[in-house]
Amino acid sequence: MAGQGTSADSNRPALALHVPEPRFRPGDPADFSHIDIGCPGDQPRPDENVHPAQMTGLAYGLVRVLGDDNLAHGPWNPRLDPETLRRMLGHMAMVRAFDERMFRGQRQGKTSFYMKCTGEEATSIAPAMALASDDMVFPSYRQQGILIARGYPLLEMINQIYSNRADKLKGRQLPIMYSSREHSFFSISGNLATQCPQAVGWAMASAARGDSRIAATWVGEGSTAEGDFHSACTFAAVYNAPVILNVINNQWAISSFSGFAGAERTTFAARGLGYGIAALRVDGNDALACYAAAEWAANRARGNHGPTLIEYFTYRAEGHSTSDDPSGYRSAQEREEWPLGDPVNRLKKHLVAIGEWDEERHAIMDLECAETVKATTKEAEKNGILGHGLHHPFHTMFEDVYEELPWHLEEQAEQAIRERIAKFGTERPFG
């Protein structure tokens, strides 16, 4: 069937379909000189009750604090004391050590799946530190930094990753899809952007009840294409919800560069302005800028001035997940050439520059992180690794589908246990 509209009027110009294409593919040299990263300290810091229409410069520019001289500049300097800065660095180093070991664990067959956040550590840790510990967070799947910053035990994280008998989620969820109500950390979904309207709803409920807690959500730039994100923006604006919408622009959504989410046309922060939402675009590899932006947005929300959309401009230094091989679609040079450097290294250099840190202490810290993760991994392995029998009893598979077990699930549970006995001669729930 030929197209109904293929007979174009010859007096009109032929149209052409634009399909975005990233600048660099495997084997290409990477050169990011086209990206305008502005200057640290240049962006003004308006009052938290500013009207979104006054934020155009902040939505299209880049809030930066740490300069090439490794010092903090301008009005967005959050003026954190050295102890807080060291704690922030420690969290970031811990996340990196954790990611390294868990990635390796997946390669060794201890679990099915893992996702690193290498290069993006600041975008979860700094905002988590700027929020109150009981502010509710609705993360995506790359915000392990929030759990680390909130003191969630590494052992629980690894138990979940191994889906073992100590996993608090009972082996039901894919690795890294954590949940901890105790840490005001919402259950992570594998489906994209679904958490955005949920965060807005939580914030609306908090406002309706006259609570003082706010909500924050994280979503990748690729996932902002989902309708859920736009519904979230609409509701956040309509109800002036006390919520922070964090868009982690790490340039890549599996193999699709940010152009497939609209980055060739505008910034992700600028989306907020169209909805009437305050908008900030921030250097996501600058932990101080990340902290300052989150603190500003939290103050705005807490003051009943409404939502903020923050775009963290960063770079996904590793593959999407253990199932991905980025060498198949992007230039291997990109990571090295990224104009905004590495967030851990930049914070470290800042602390050294202000005389509050040195190479020796840093090396000791890295070693301690690695040792802690290693020891905790060993501890977790006592509870089992994926597929080696040390899982939850079969009956747990049927629990929590509903509050109470209906007859058909009770029958199916009996069936599952019968099958287990038929195959192994025992239910053998604990190996």
Partner 1 sequence: MSAEVITERRLNMIEAINEALGIMLERDPDVIIMGEDVGYFGGVFRATAGLQAKFGKTRVFDTPISECGIIGVAVGMGAYGLRPVPEIQFADYIYPGLDQLVSEAARLRYRSAGDYIAPLTVRSPFGGGIFGGQTHSQSPEALFTHVAGLKTVIPATPHDAKGLLIAAIEDNDPVIFFEPKRIYNGPFSGYYDKPVEPWKKHPDSVVPEGYYKVPLGKARVVQEGEALTVLAYGTMVHVAEAVCKAKGVDAEILDLRTLVPLDIKAIEASVEKTGRCLIVHEATRTSGFGAELSALVTERCFYHLEAPVERVTGFDTPYPHSLEWAYFPGPVRIGEAIDKLLKD
Residues that bind partner 1 in the complex, under the rule CB under 8 A? 1-6, 17, 19-21, 25, 112-113, 163-164, 167, 171-175, 177, 189-193, 222-223, 225-228, 253-256, 260-262, 323-324, 328-329, 386-387, 391-392, 394, 396-398, 401, 408-409, 412, 415-416, 418-420, 422-423
CB-wise, 121 or 334, nearer to partner 1? 334
Other Cβ atoms closer than 10 A to 321 = 18
What is the amino acid identity at position 36? Answer: D
CB closer to partner 1 out of 54 and 430: 430
Nearer to partner 1, 303 or 387 (CB): 387
Nearest-angstrom CA–CA distance, 129 and 363: 24
**For residues 163 and 251, which CB has a smaller minimum distance to partner 1 in the complex?**
163
The secondary structure element, H or E, covering residue 8 is: none
The secondary structure of 33-58 as a DSSP string is TTS----TT-S----TT--GGGGHHH
Least distance (Å) between residue 287 CB and partner 1: 28
Q: Tell me how far, at minimum, the Cβ of 243 lies from partner 1, in Å.
A: 21
Tell me the torsion sign for CA atoms 44, 50, 56, 61: positive
Q: Are 348 and 89 in contact (CB under 8 A)?
A: yes
The CB-of-98 to partner 1 minimum distance in angstroms stands at 20
Interhelix angle 359-381/154-162, nearest 10 degrees: 50
Q: State the minimum distance, in angstroms, from the CB of residue 240 to partner 1.
A: 26
Lookup: tokens for 131: 């929020």
CB of 108 vs partner 1, minimal distance in Å: 15
Q: Judged by CB, which is closer to partner 1: 70, or 255?
A: 255
What gap in Å lies between CA 209 and CA 207, rounded to an integer?
Answer: 5
Give min distance, CB of 418 to partner 1, in A: 8
Closer residue to partner 1 in complex, CB, 352/409: 409
Which of 57, 387 has the CB closer to partner 1? 387
CB burial of 291-310 (b: ≥16 within 10 Å; e: otherwise) equals: bbbbbbbbbbbeeebbbbbb
Q: Which is nearer to partner 1, 61 or 326 (CB)?
A: 326
Beta carbon of residue 2, minimum distance to partner 1 (angstroms, whole number): 6
CA 31/CA 331 separation, integer angstroms: 10
Distance CA 307, CA 301 (A): 6
User: Which residues face 132 on adjacent strands?
Assistant: none
Query: How far apart (Å, rounded) are the C-alpha atoms in residues 174 and 223?
Result: 19
At residue 245, φ and ψ (nearest 5 deg) are -100, 105
Q: How far is the CB of 83 from partner 1 (least distance, A)?
A: 40
